[in-house]
């Protein structure tokens, strides 16, 4: 195992909200409504979808054997609006609603690196009307980090529906930050240890481990600032409240294209076609810094197999659509569809893998 992260304590994420103006970061109801409006506009912009989804609704009725869905379905996204998880959740909701002719509503329940929303679904009624679109953080990497603070068991408390996508991680910088390359970043961080402010999109995530590993392998010390999700982290990066961010490409690609953020490197095996001039950390000599966060759709345990099988079939058809494949490529995401059995096996494997990494590195969040 090549991961070698030094021991360090990181405080829980601050209570922030996703709003366009940093001074408006409050939890007031007006700001929450504004945040949701921003999120929906953001997702539509990035995915190239209008509020009226540009897909043909099938002339089919709900599943005749189960009558599902007979009413609105909630897809819980365990992170604030604006991040990759939110984009994936809204993409699913828009197409499922069009195909199944019932509202699919995204509900953002951010907090504790995705744990709060994930636990909410674990305790939900297993009737198919509450689903979870979740990332590798609360479903794998956080399990070994939080241990006694997590009150759900992924393998026991959820019924797998499908694995959806994986994404490229991009090291991005505010354009006013003087680093124009990873070499510059390392030099600045070494000159003034602790001066470079690095956003952590979610404590306990792959981004967390990559950022900590970057410190170790480069001999630098960063000032790591935790957030509830990519949305708030990217907003603070845009506002200059942090200097760099290891984040998912879908959360930052539109800002990179608009020259509002600078891409320094990607944490993938090879260069991403959407950022062909951006080097990989691996080719820059940081061979350990390779990871691809993933996203899955699950339901509470004991959800009827007829429902989870039907949803798996619908999701498979959605991610096979040429327009969806094109949108995923444009935002730096890769279709990683897996069936129910394969998803369950994948989750078990990833939980074991990241538990080993956390044990060997000694990284903590307490």
Q: What percent of the chain has pLDDT over 90?
A: 65
Q: Chain-wide mean pLDDT for the chain?
A: 84
Band (41; pLDDT cuts 50, 70, 90): very low
Residue 273 lies in a domain: no
Q: What is the reported pLDDT for 366?
A: 56
Q: Which one, of 348, 323, 353, lies nearest residue 338 by Cα?
A: 348
Question: Which pLDDT score is estimated for 181?
Answer: 98
Looking up tokens 């991040």 gives 83
Where does residue 14 rank: exposed (0-12), middle (13-18), buried (19+ CB within 10 A)? Answer: exposed
- pLDDT mean over 207-219: 90
Residue 16 token pair: 């922030």
Per-residue pLDDT for 109 more than 60? yes
Residue 227 lies in a domain: no
Mean of pLDDT values over 49-64 = 44
196 inside domain = no
Q: What is the pLDDT of residues 289-310, one digit of tens each?
A: 988 999 999 999 999 999 999 9
Instruction: Report yes or no on 120 lying in a domain.
Output: yes
- Please give the pLDDT value at position 16: 30
C-alpha triplet 313, 314, 319: angle, nearest 5°: 100
CA–CA distance, 11 with 151 (Å, rounded to integer): 19
- Helices 84-100 and 230-238: crossing angle in degrees, nearest 10, is 130
CB count in 10 Å sphere of residue 281? 26
- d(CA 222, CA 129) in angstroms, rounded, equals 43
Look at residue 4 and tell me if it is in a domain: no
CA-nearest of 36, 29, 11 to 204 is: 11
Q: Does any domain span residue 13? A: no
Closest CA to 136 of 159, 121, 150, 118: 118
* DSSP calls for 71-86: S-EEEEESS-TTSHHH
7 versus 66: the higher-pLDDT residue is 66
Q: How many domains does the chain have?
A: 1
Question: Has residue 6 got a pLDDT over 80?
Answer: no
Residue 153 vs residues 118, 191, 301, 332: alpha-carbon distances, Å: 10, 44, 10, 30
Cα–chain-centroid distance for residue 88? 8
Bridge partners, 74 (sequence order): 105, 130
- Model confidence at 28: pLDDT above 70: no
CATH of the domain at 102: 3.40.190.150
Stretch among 12-21, 103-112, 118-127, 134-143 having the lowest mean pLDDT: 12-21
Asked if residue 74 belongs to a domain, the reply is yes
Could you give the CA distance from residue 308 to residue 129 in angstroms, rounded to a whole number?
11
User: According to the model, what pLDDT value does residue 357 have?
Assistant: 77
- Of residues 7 and 182, more confidence is placed in 182
pLDDT of residue 31: 41
Report the distance separating Cα 290 and Cα 214, nearest Å.
11
- In degrees and rounded to multiples of 5, residue 133 shows phi and psi of -105, 105
Give the domain range for residue 326: 22-168+294-361
**CB contact at 8 A, 208 and 202:** yes
Looking at the domain assignment, is residue 178 inside a domain?
no
197: enclosing H helix or E strand = strand 197-200
Q: Which pLDDT does position 83 carry in this prediction?
A: 83
What residues form DSSP beta bridges with 159? 299
């Amino acid at each position: 195992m090549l991961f070698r992260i030094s021991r360090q304590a990181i405080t829980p994420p601050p209570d922030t909200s996703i709003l366009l103006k940093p001074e408006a970061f409050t939890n007031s109801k007006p700001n929450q409504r504004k945040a949701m409006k921003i999120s929906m506009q953001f997702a539509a912009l990035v995915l190239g979808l209008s509020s009226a989804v540009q897909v043909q609704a099938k002339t089919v009725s709900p599943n005749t054997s189960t009558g599902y869905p007979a009413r609105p379905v909630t897809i819980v996204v365990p992170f604030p609006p604006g991040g990759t998880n939110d984009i994936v959740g809204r993409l699913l909701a828009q197409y499922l609603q069009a195909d199944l002719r019932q509202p699919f509503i995204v509900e953002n329940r951010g907090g504790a690196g995705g744990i709060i929303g994930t636990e909410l679904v674990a305790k939900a009624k297993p009737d198919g009307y509450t689903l979870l679109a979740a990332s590798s953080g609360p479903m794998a990497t956080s399990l070994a980090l939080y241990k006694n603070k997590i009150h759900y068991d992924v393998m026991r408390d959820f019924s797998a529906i499908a694995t959806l996508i994986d994404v490229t991680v991009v090291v991005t910088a505010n354009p006013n930050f003087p680093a124009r390359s990873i070499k510059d970043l390392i030099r600045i961080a070494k000159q003034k240890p602790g001066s470079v402010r690095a956003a952590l999109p979610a404590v306990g995530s792959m981004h967390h481990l990559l950022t900590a590993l970057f410190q170790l392998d480069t001999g630098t010390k960063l000032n790591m600032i935790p957030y509830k999700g990519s949305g708030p982290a990217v907003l603070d990066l845009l506002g200059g409240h942090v200097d760099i961010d290891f984040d998912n490409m879908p959360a930052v690609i539109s800002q990179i294209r608009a020259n509002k953020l600078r891409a320094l490197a990607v944490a993938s095996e090879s260069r991403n076609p959407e950022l062909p001039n951006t080097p990989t950390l691996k080719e820059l000599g940081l061979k350990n810094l390779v990871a691809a966060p993933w996203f899955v759709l699950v339901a509470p345990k004991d959800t009827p197999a007829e429902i989870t099988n039907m949803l798996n079939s619908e999701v498979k058809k959605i991610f096979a659509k040429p327009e969806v494949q094109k949108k995923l490529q444009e935002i730096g995401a890769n279709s990683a569809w897996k069936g129910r059995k394969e998803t369950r096996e994948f989750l078990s494997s990833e939980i074991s893998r990241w538990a080993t990494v956390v044990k060997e590195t000694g990284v903590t969040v307490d």
